[in-house]
A and B are shown apart, each in its own frame.
Chain A
């Protein structure tokens, strides 16, 4: 593999790839898959670049791409970069995304980007086109294999500077509030250099497996940019195909002898639970070097479940790895030891000091009151982490606080949103909003972003749920708290809402009110509320500022409803 440091841009790395090596295989089912070599992919990307140029796209222009998971979307993305344009992939509408939520998100994001072109595939639903915000001079383009265009051959002419923007990736979050993370070629190449070294990537022997969506950092960076720059073959599935048939993951890994994959936490239990037990040992996962859990936090039970299921399929225990990653840092901040590994580090700490003083006091496994924490690994080179308290002071190892990061591949800012950028950064440090601690050089992430609910891999702001609930005429405005309670059966959080009614009398029709609220929440946000607790006036605990105190209210609810307790793991510490 060529030295990544010698490349000025991501597309230069693509140009340097061996033309006859397999790049991407799109696996649909046993009978349907398409494979392209690096040479073939280059040709198609140039055709897309030519197509975009003919439609007036030039260097620096933003290009929004909304296409299903396919090789085609990768060609368009690479084609835009070849022109020096700045592509951004947005999620494609599908049956898992509620139309109302999708439409408002799409309109907000495309307006903020002021894109020169919005590129969709031929089957993009007509009824959603009205929600693509087109600014003056921007165009809607339909692309596909059929396009006729003069391919862009004079590539060098368009090659941008290393410090110019390469693309924009959108952070997870309520779609309307999605932030466009602006990344330079330099930042992306630097991140890939660090990651390739940590993982000892070898294009000649590695093969990546992925079902991860390309509009998300795990899919875009780890499973598209990294293989393109490091010349590694990748076998890709659509996330939808995978979620409906999760057992295709061990099958594809077996068939293609894949060595690397990145997964969110829930997949580690979702796959074994949806793969017939009788099939477990029929797969061969011995080729896998690293299956990297990129969620925060990494849950020991999920990793254990996967190992238990597929140990008999030859899965090496030391292949289970973890990483702490976010779009704002291109991707990974930490990576567990793939090379020297005895497996992921797990430590146990006393629950009492953890909850009351936010410190880690180690105790032996199995001691009553022991909490388990899984390591997210060590910092990549040129990365720094600070753990800070609520008042901003830097904490020692073993103390829990907000994670701040600084690195040589940190983002430039949120595109067109200096206000959000200023909020998220302080003196060159990025405030992740995640809670964690450092211990013997490793990072342990203990909670999700403050207040954020993580439902089925999607981040949900409780404020958005609360706003909808509070709009109900029988609910006291502003007296609503939405929270996430971990559901071990699903490996994700359930949304639980507690709300005060205007008048005690209406509690007689609590069921009816709850049903109305539930349908309003699902219509707007696409998630079902697991339980709605309606309480009499003045039940919710308020802060000194008169606002509902989220964590205190949550504690009160757990006291009153012991049935929730067994599933609750304190993350508001």
Chain B
């Protein structure tokens, strides 16, 4: 896991208020009901921070945010470099 992915994992654990939660890069988050659409906004922002990119939300579908690995792949695919 990259340091960024590691940070994302800690962020998610904090978000769902379960510090002991064991998730890895491929744990389903949305489809398992761990997080919902309100939280996705927060994760998208965190992803922008961690990748230093601007990610147009209109180009993101829930399936693109289902795992930590998918999130970073999505950022690579649709993100624009920040000024």
Contacts and interface: CB of A to CB of B under 8 A. Distances in A.
Given A94-B57, A95-B65, A519 B40 contact: no
B58 A29 contact: no
A244 interface: yes
A36 to B, nearest CB: 20
B9 to A, nearest CB: 19
Contacts of A95: 37, 40, 44, 57, 60-62, 64-65
Contacts of B39: 528
A263 interface: no
B31 interface: yes
B10 to A, nearest CB: 20
Interface string A60-87: 0000000011000000000000000000
A238 interface: yes
A192 B3 CA distance: 55
Interface in B42-71: 44-45, 48, 54, 56-58, 60-65
A240 B31 CA distance: 21
A240 B62 CA distance: 13
A330 B59 CA distance: 31
Contacts of A116: none
Contact of A99 (B44, B57, B62, B65): B62
Contacts of A420: none
Nearest to B74: A95
A565 interface: no
B57 A241 contact: yes
Interface in A478-503: 490
B57 A244 contact: yes
A152 B39 CA distance: 45
B35 interface: yes
Given A95-B62, A99-B62, A523-B31, A243 B57 contact: yes
Contact of A520 (B33, B58, B65): B33
B33 A68 contact: no
B1 interface: no
Contacts of B33: 515, 518-523, 528
Interface of chain B: mostly helix, strand, loop or mixed: helix
A96 B32 CA distance: 15
Nearest to B37: A96
Contacts, number: 69
A526 B54 contact: no
A456 interface: yes
A97 interface: yes
A98 B30 CA distance: 9
Q: How large is the interface on A (under 10, 10 to 19, 20 to 34, 35 or more residues)?
A: 20 to 34
A96 B36 CA distance: 8
A99 B40 CA distance: 14
Interface in A223-266: 238, 240-241, 243-244
Given A29-B54, A243-B41, A244-B45, A94 B36 contact: no
B32 A519 contact: yes
A500 to B, nearest CB: 21
The winner among A98, A244, A521 for most chain B CB atoms within 10 A is A244
A526 B36 contact: yes
A353 interface: no
A527 interface: yes
The winner among A455, A515, A522 for most chain B CB atoms within 10 A is A522
Contacts of A93: 61
Contacts of B45: 244
A18 interface: no
Nearest to B16: A528
B69 to A, nearest CB: 16
A522 B36 contact: yes
A369 interface: no
A244 B44 contact: yes
A125 interface: yes
B54 A94 contact: no
A528 B57 contact: no
A320 B38 CA distance: 26
A527 B36 CA distance: 6
Nearest to A28: B56
Contacts of B60: 94-95
A519 B31 CA distance: 7
A94 B58 contact: yes
Interface of B: 30-41, 44-45, 48, 54, 56-58, 60-65
16 contacts: A69-B58, A94-B58, A95-B57, A96-B62, A98-B37, A99-B63, A238-B58, A240-B57, A244-B45, A456-B37, A515-B33, A522-B36, A523-B33, A526-B37, A528-B33, A528-B36
Q: 4 shortest A-B CB distances, which residue pairs?
A: A519-B33, A528-B36, A522-B33, A240-B57
